[in-house]
C-alpha cells in the first residue's frame, strides 16, 4: 500500500520575484502620494528588508519493495507552488497560501491512488510547523 509518511510546507526564496507593481505610480503626477509609499517599499526590498517567496507543499510517500512492508521506497510529491508572495505578509495570509497548496497536493496524491487516511492529520501538522 502506498502511504503518506510526511507532509511539509516549504517557503522558498523567489529569485525571479516581480516587484514592478511598486513602480505603477512612479511617473503619474496625480498619484505621487502612492509613489512615495511604493518607493519606500521598493527601497526596503532592494535593501533586503523583505523578499519574494514561493510556497510549496510536499508529501513524502512510501511503498513496499517487493511486497516487504519492512523495506519501503520513498518518493516525494509536490504541489504546483505559488510564487511572488511578499515575505512580510501576515500569518493568516501565509496560512491561506499553505492551505491552498495542501489542497493542490491532495488532488495530486489522489491521481496516484495514495492512501489518504492520515492526510488531514499530517496536513494540520505541516500547517502548524510552517511558520517562518
CB distance 55 to 17 below 8 Å: no
Q: pTM for the full model?
A: 0.86
Give the least confident one: 21-35, 36-50, 65-79, 80-94.
Answer: 21-35
Instruction: Parse the chain into domains and list their residue ranges.
Output: 3-17+52-129
Bridge partner list, 80: none
**What does the pLDDT look like over 75-112, one tens digit per residue?**
999 999 999 999 999 999 999 999 999 999 999 999 99
Bridge partner list, 74: 62
Structure confidence at residue 35 (pLDDT): 87
- CA distance linking residue 116 with residue 48, whole number of Å: 40
Structure confidence at residue 26 (pLDDT): 86
Structure confidence at residue 71 (pLDDT): 92
Dihedrals phi, psi of 76, to nearest 5 degrees: -115, 130
Look over the chain and give the mean of its residue pLDDT values, rounded to a whole number: 93
Q: Over 70: is that where the pLDDT of 117 sits?
A: yes
Give the least confident one: 16-20, 60-64, 107-111, 121-125.
Answer: 16-20
The pLDDT confidence band at residue 29, using thresholds 50, 70 and 90, is: confident
Amino acid at each position: 500500500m502506498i502511504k503518506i509518511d510526511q507532509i511539509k510546507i516549504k517557503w522558498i526564496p523567489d529569485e525571479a520575484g516581480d516587484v514592478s507593481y511598486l513602480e505603477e505610480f512612479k511617473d503619474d503626477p496625480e498619484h505621487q502620494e502612492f509613489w512615495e509609499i511604493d518607493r519606500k517599499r521598493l527601497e526596503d526590498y532592494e535593501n533586503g528588508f523583505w523578499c519574494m517567496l514561493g510556497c510549496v507543499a510536499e508529501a513524502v510517500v512510501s511503498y513496499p519493495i517487493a511486497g516487504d512492508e519492512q523495506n519501503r521506497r520513498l518518493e516525494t510529491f509536490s504541489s504546483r507552488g505559488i510564487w511572488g508572495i511578499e515575505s512580510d505578509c501576515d500569518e493568516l495570509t501565509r496560512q491561506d497560501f499553505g492551505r491552498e497548496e495542501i489542497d493542490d497536493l491532495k488532488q495530486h496524491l489522489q491521481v496516484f491512488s495514495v492512501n489518504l487516511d492520515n492526510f488531514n492529520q499530517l496536513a494540520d501538522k505541516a500547517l502548524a510547523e510552517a511558520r517562518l
